[in-house]
Amino acid sequence: MNRDTSRRFAYIETCLYWGVGITARQLGETFEIARPNAQASITAYRELHPNNLCYNASLKRHEASNTFAAHYISDKPEIYLNYLRGNYLTSKFWKDEDWSELPIHDVDTLFRPHLQSDITQTVVSAIQTQQALHLYYHAKAQTHDLTVAPNQLVYASRRYHIRAYSYDANKYIDLVLSRILEADISTEDWVSSDEDKEWNTYIDLNFKPNPELPEQLRNTLLLDFRLKGNLYTITVRKALQAYVLREMERIDWQHKIPLWLYVPAQERYETLFQNLALVPSQQIM
């Protein structure tokens, strides 16, 4: 199946599952193809997946059947909503296909630090071409020169970061992209992230609702993530754990205390054993 066909099929499924249905006119306008070609695409889709759609004669559109099963898109709601958000962000860069008439308003974009075009371009290019950089960097404590080999782009805490090898410190470090004041290509040999143990290692971080919060709010936090127990576990690269801790333990503006508290491994195991002690032995078996 060629790319044009698979994208049309993905659009058909998006309209069927996440929308109200699909018409040949709608498909034709989206992909700028003639209506007969659009109808042929719908027919081809129906031939491959006859149980996925039915025709609503009164509304003159194809709709999802009760036996619909996705083949070209995800049926997970968070993935679809991420797509809507991504499509909104993409529309700020160029005009792309809009596969939904449902707008999403991204408040997060209101809090982005300023990024300088030439510096960002140099950094992005260096990552792609595997080149080292000489930076003039404004850290919290001081402004100083750095020579780094940039490896990864990271978005966390509403900012873009760079994971890079520092020649000066002989270790891998995190840099905030907006704090780079100057960036030039360096002659140093580029160093990959293969030896970045913290980047290549995943760990589990466990959190529990703050016991100082009202009980109703604690239960609401558990409901948000459909947690059956009292722990919320996040699997993350070890190099990025500080960003997760910062987000989860931030002070709630209304209650003036963190909503979640980090649970060290020892406390987690003690809680687990305590819970097991409350279960009859025959149920444990």
What's the rounded mean pLDDT across residues 102-108? 84
* CATH assignment at residue 48: 1.10.10.10
Give the pLDDT band of residue 15 (cuts 50, 70, 90): very high
Spatial separation of the C-alpha atoms in residues 144 and 122, rounded to whole Å: 19
Q: Report the range of poorest mean pLDDT among 81-90, 125-134, 220-229.
A: 81-90
Residues 247 and 206 in one domain: yes
For the residues 141-170, what does the mean pLDDT come to? Answer: 95
**Can you tell me the distance from the alpha carbon of 282 to that of 270, in angstroms, rounded to the nearest whole number?**
21
* 8 A C-beta contact, residue 282 and residue 274: no
Same domain, 179 and 229: no
The whole-number pLDDT of residue 99 equals 63
Predicted confidence band of residue 69 (pLDDT cuts 50, 70, 90): very high
Is residue 96 assigned to a domain?
Answer: no
Whether residues 212 and 159 share a domain: the answer is: no
Domain end point (choices 194, 213, 246): 194
Q: What percent of the chain has pLDDT over 90?
A: 75
Q: Is residue 101 part of a domain?
A: no
CATH code of the domain containing 155:
2.30.30
> Minimum mean pLDDT among 102-106, 131-135, 183-187, 260-264: which range?
102-106
151-157: long-range pairs with CB below 8 Å, 24+: 151/127, 151/192, 151/193, 151/196, 151/199, 152/127, 152/193, 152/199, 153/124, 153/127, 154/240, 154/243, 156/240, 156/243, 156/247, 157/243, 157/246, 157/247
Q: Give me the torsion for CA of 85, 90, 91, 95, rounded to 10°.
A: -140
Q: Is the pLDDT of residue 275 over 90?
A: no
Number of domain units in the chain: 3
Residue 110 lies in a domain: no
Is residue 98 in some structural domain? no
Q: Please indicate, yes or no, whether residues 258 and 205 belong to a single structural domain of this protein.
A: yes
**pLDDT score of 284 more than 60:** no
Among left, alpha and beta (phi > 0; psi -120 to 50; other), residue 193 is alpha
Structural domain includes residue 105: no
Residue range 6-18: mean pLDDT, rounded: 94
Mean pLDDT for the stretch of residues 206-224 = 94
The residue type of 42 is: I
Do 161 and 206 reside in the same domain of the chain? no
Q: Of the residues 76, 103, 130, which one is the last residue of a structural domain?
A: 76
Same domain, 132 and 185: yes
100 vs 103, higher pLDDT: 103
Same domain for 218 and 186: no
Q: How confident is the model at residue 126 (pLDDT cuts 50, 70, 90)?
A: very high
* Mean pLDDT score across all residues of the chain: 90
Whether 23 and 54 share a structural domain? yes
Structural domain includes residue 178 = yes
Q: Are 205 and 187 found together in one domain?
A: no
| Percent of residues, the chain, with pLDDT higher than 70 | 91
Q: 112 in a domain, yes or no?
A: no
Domain that holds residue 122: 118-194
83 within a domain of the structure (yes/no)? no
Q: Which of 144, 167, 194 is the last residue of a domain?
A: 194
The confidence band for 102, taking pLDDT boundaries of 50, 70 and 90, is confident
Query: Does one domain contain both 211 and 166?
Result: no
When pLDDT is averaged across residues 182-198 and rounded to a whole number, the result is 97
Is there a single domain that holds both residue 214 and residue 259? yes
Q: Are residues 264 and 216 in the same domain?
A: yes
